[in-house]
Amino acid sequence: MINKPSLIVDKEKCIRNIRKMKAKADKANVLFRPHFKTHQSASIGKWFREEGVEAITVSSISMAKYFADNGWKDISVAFPLNILEMEEINALAERITLNLLVESVGSVRFLKHYLSSNINLYIKIDTGYHRTGIWCENIEEIQNVVDEIKGTEKTEFIGFLTHSGQNYHAKDEEEIRNNHGEVLRIMSELKDYFKKDNPNIISSIGDTPSCSIVEEYYGIDELRPGNFVFYDLDGFIQGRCDDDEVAVTMACPVVAKHDERKEIIIYGGGVHFSKEYIDTGDGNKLYGSIVKFDGEEWTPIIAGGYLASLSQEHGVLKVSEELFKEIEIGELLGIVPVHSCMAVSCISDMFTTKGEKLDLFK
Amino acid sequence: MINKPSLIVDKEKCIRNIRKMKAKADKANVLFRPHFKTHQSASIGKWFREEGVEAITVSSISMAKYFADNGWKDISVAFPLNILEMEEINALAERITLNLLVESVGSVRFLKHYLSSNINLYIKIDTGYHRTGIWCENIEEIQNVVDEIKGTEKTEFIGFLTHSGQNYHAKDEEEIRNNHGEVLRIMSELKDYFKKDNPNIISSIGDTPSCSIVEEYYGIDELRPGNFVFYDLDGFIQGRCDDDEVAVTMACPVVAKHDERKEIIIYGGGVHFSKEYIDTGDGNKLYGSIVKFDGEEWTPIIAGGYLASLSQEHGVLKVSEELFKEIEIGELLGIVPVHSCMAVSCISDMFTTKGEKLDLFK
């Protein structure tokens, strides 16, 4: 029986989410290479494999090793090359198809000296998010990195990769569609330009917001969304998914009630949820929404309360008088987390609604 | 060699911090019962034991079990009783002195039915933080809980416990001193009132801000600070510690540089730091400060840059032109975390500056 904060996964919803995204990629004739940083679970990886997925994305070399140990043979690490991990990279590249990300001539030169097995390299392109990557208009620098890769014995230039993280902060669907159109144009032009000398290169995109709402992927060869497998409160509020597509909830024991201020204390804090919040615009922070959870399934999000603050192990729910009366000490409540990827990174226990424990990368 | 985000602990600084706080408690003739939720490490626990510490505080039953497995015999769990963990509580209470926290008659009644070993109970008092506890002026309710405990066979009423979490958000030292004075008054009066029928009860307080800056503990019997062992950027900025008392830094590899916007990308993100930040008041968020780290020791905080944003695995440093030139891809930088307790909860690798791996509760 669940008696401390645990992330509960609805397998049926996950599989529906996987099938829907896979069907969309198939229809658009692009490779579906889902990002596994969201679930970080070999058990859930199997659900993907049963749907025909063979190529995946992860966010670190350590995570790549975990999934390689669990039978995955084609892994992209969507994070800038960390040259301090050469030993781990060489060991991994010996046994799987390893696709890494570079964005500078210097990093490729380093590989030239220290690489002992073959790897594939994407060049990371900044198409407007401005976090990492070579700015898409800087053709000269892109050409320099391409030349350096091609002049290096054990590296294969496989194409361009971008991440439109700005879509998570878009004000509406129209903004996402506009960003997406712009990204398609940039990535197609870039590929066309470099295809003359590199006929097999691909272009890869991957944020969940655009992958969730858009159907058109002209010029794109690979999709890497991750969050869609679980979605979360942020996705629901932003319109990326319906309430019944959110496939995770954090089960939290109720430990105290404070009638005078209609607050309910749950065992479930920053160490379980992270401290991601949604700014409600009225000076309050929303750290999660409440569902009723009977140990096997949860209701849609209920009105009359929300997770209003988090300390290390405590969560404070602010609730209506009516909801206050309904909730009892010793009850398990479900909290829909704001950001499921961060919640998975925080917690140590993850179960299906049927009580099956899910293996986790830690 | 460190090649991915790892929390580095300066053992000498920790021991100085432990000795200083222990000496303060000894001088005030109060029991020093440090909170181990900050370091969560059996290895660091030993450093406390070598300074004569025998009684500790933790924040969950799972953490109590971890430290009991590592030889600790007197543990207080400073979190409201979670009645769903009765099996674990009974198992622990059989082998150690277990001190739990209650704040309602209902919770004690539950213990009456399900407790199979003896435990000690504090009553949690709200002295102004308004997170948990019975409001300090509600003598009737406090009396009800005392009566219920005394009417229960296997529970011993040991006193009152409070946590002045508001001191973390105090605007200056004066506010902390004022809060502290008020808490001493409330806790002494409460103890005096109930001492007539319960001569052995104690009063317990424990936030690091007041324990760091105050010398006077009239009427208090037990101190439970935790954060002081490491301190952090928040503690330094708020004046709770000096720069050279901050005993942790997160070692992070530099993976990319972006000249056009003077940004440096580190491997080190929300999954390592949590997303705690300090509001700089000018619309920016400060997620950490930079130190130079040579693999063995780190410099004081350096000017000219800071950790300006975090995604899951990436951190973005905004730096001056000068600092930008100094920092190289493949270098390890140190980042002083905003909140060390949360960083410890997030990371999986913790080492001393001498390269010794520290055992971690996970």
The CATH number of the structural domain formed by B243-338 is 2.40.37.20
Q: pLDDT confidence of A245, banded at 50, 70, 90? A: very high
- pLDDT for B326 equals 96
Interface test mutation site (partner A, options B57, B137, B277, B329, max chain A beta carbons within 10 A): B329
- Average pLDDT score over residue span A323-334: 96
Residue A179 scores a pLDDT above 90:
yes
Residues B163/B116, Cβ–Cβ less than 8 Å: no
CA distance A121 to chain B (A): 15
- Give residue limits of the domains in chain B: 12-230, 243-338
Residue B280 scores a pLDDT above 90:
no
- Longest Cα–Cα distance of chain A, Å, equals 72
Residue A280 scores a pLDDT above 90:
no
The topology under which CATH files domain B12-230 is: TIM Barrel (3.20.20)
The mean pLDDT of chain B is 96
**Homologous superfamily (CATH) for A11-229:** Alanine racemase (3.20.20.10)
Q: Do B255 and A330 touch (CB under 8 A)?
A: no
- Average pLDDT score over residue span A99-119: 95
**What is the Cα–Cα distance from A88 to A74, expressed in whole angstroms?**
16
A348 contact residues in B (CB cutoff 8 A):
362
Surface-to-core class of residue B28, CB atoms within 10 Å of its CB (0-12 exposed, 13-18 middle, 19+ buried):
middle
Measured between CA atoms, the residue of chain B closest to residue A254 is B82
What is the share, in percent, of chain A residues with pLDDT greater than 90? 93
- pLDDT for B266 equals 98
Closest CA to A244 of A256, A257, A255, A230: A230
Name residues whose C-beta falls within 8 Å of residue A24's C-beta, 6 or more positions apart in sequence.
A211, A215, A223
Tell me the residues of chain B between 77 and 106 that have a Cβ less than 8 Å away from chain A.
79-85, 88, 103-104, 106
Q: Do B84 and A253 touch (CB under 8 A)?
A: yes
ipTM: 0.94
**What is the Cα–Cα distance from A132 to A119, expressed in whole angstroms?**
21
- pLDDT for B71 equals 98
- pLDDT for B316 equals 97
Residue A68, CA distances (Å) to A38, A86, A111 in order = 17, 17, 21
Residue A95, CA distances (Å) to A72, A149, A202, B30 in order = 10, 21, 23, 60
Closest CA to B254 of B308, B331, B319: B331
Chain segment A209-244, per-residue pLDDT in tens: 999 999 899 999 999 999 999 999 999 999 999 999
- pLDDT for B283 equals 86
Surface-to-core class of residue B180, CB atoms within 10 Å of its CB (0-12 exposed, 13-18 middle, 19+ buried):
buried
Which among B83, B270, B274 has CB closest to A330?
B83
- pLDDT for A97 equals 98
- pLDDT for A1 equals 86
Residue B84 scores a pLDDT above 90:
yes
B145 contact residues in A (CB cutoff 8 A):
none
Which two structure tokens, joined as six digits, stand for A332?
């398990």
- Hey, is the C-beta of B144 within 8 angstroms of any chain A C-beta? no
Which among B83, B311, B342 has CB closest to A165?
B311
H-only helix segments in chain B: 11-27, 42-50, 61-69, 86-95, 105-114, 139-150, 173-195, 208-213, 233-237, 270-273, 321-326, 340-346
Residue B123 scores a pLDDT above 90:
yes
Distance of CA B340 to the CA centre of its chain: 8
- Average pLDDT score over residue span B161-189: 93
B48-82 in b/e form (b: 16+ CB < 10 A) is beeeebebbbbbbbbbbbbbbeeebeebbbbbbbb
Three-state SS for B26? helix
Chain segment B294-332, per-residue pLDDT in tens: 988 999 999 999 999 999 999 999 999 999 999 999 999
Residue type, B352: T
- pLDDT for B169 equals 87
Chain segment B98-122, per-residue pLDDT in tens: 999 999 999 999 999 999 999 999 9
Min mean pLDDT across A26-30, A107-111, B167-171, B238-242 is at: B167-171
Q: Do A253 and B3 touch (CB under 8 A)?
A: no
B312 contact residues in A (CB cutoff 8 A):
37, 59, 341-342, 345
Tell me the residues of chain A between 3 and 62 that have a Cβ less than 8 Å away from chain B.
3-4, 37, 59-62
Q: How many CB pairs under 8 A join A and B?
A: 142
Q: Do B103 and A316 touch (CB under 8 A)?
A: no
Residue A169 scores a pLDDT above 90:
no
Give the phi and the psi of residue A180 in degrees, each rounded to 5: -60, -45
pTM (two decimals): 0.95
Residue A72 scores a pLDDT above 90:
yes
Tokens 């509760």 label which residue?
B361
- pLDDT for B303 equals 93
Which among B4, B37, B130 has CB closest to A312?
B37
Residue B95 scores a pLDDT above 90:
yes
